[in-house]
Amino acid sequence: QVQLVESGGGLVQPGGSLRLSCAASGSIIRSYAMGWYRQAPGKQRELVAHISSGGSTNYADSVKGRFTISRDNAKNTVYLQMNSLKPEDTAVYYCNTYSLNHASWGQGTQVTVSS
């Protein structure tokens, strides 16, 4: 079974940037569409970006123009570059397959945007 480990979160000021990484093990990811999700306190988990096996991307309206999803299949890793961060981006960020049949959810990585 594929296991996913997120990293790269932290505390950042409004307007700052972070790059999140999602490392996969147990399976290769190049045949899968992958997504980044986030969950803020008291809210449901939401999809923020996804990337197809061929590299096409889509973004939630709330992050368009600020976030960039990418993948390096040779490294079995998916990335999320986050720029111009806002307090409302504060959440735990998770990666998973963009599919009805997700892998098990990992621990995620906390992103806190605050001054």
The pLDDT-based confidence of 29 (bands split at 50, 70, 90) is confident
Q: How far apart are CA 73 and CA 113, in angstroms?
A: 30
In 3D space, the residue among 65, 29, 67, 31 whose CA is nearest the CA of residue 46 turns out to be 67
Region 58-73: what's the mean pLDDT?
97
3-class DSSP assignment, residue 49: strand
The residue behind tokens 């098990």 is 104
3-class DSSP assignment, residue 97: strand
Write phi, then psi, for 87 (nearest 5 degrees).
Answer: -55, -35
Model confidence at 82: pLDDT above 80: yes
Q: How far apart are CA 3 and CA 27, in angstroms?
A: 8
Region 28-54: what's the mean pLDDT?
94
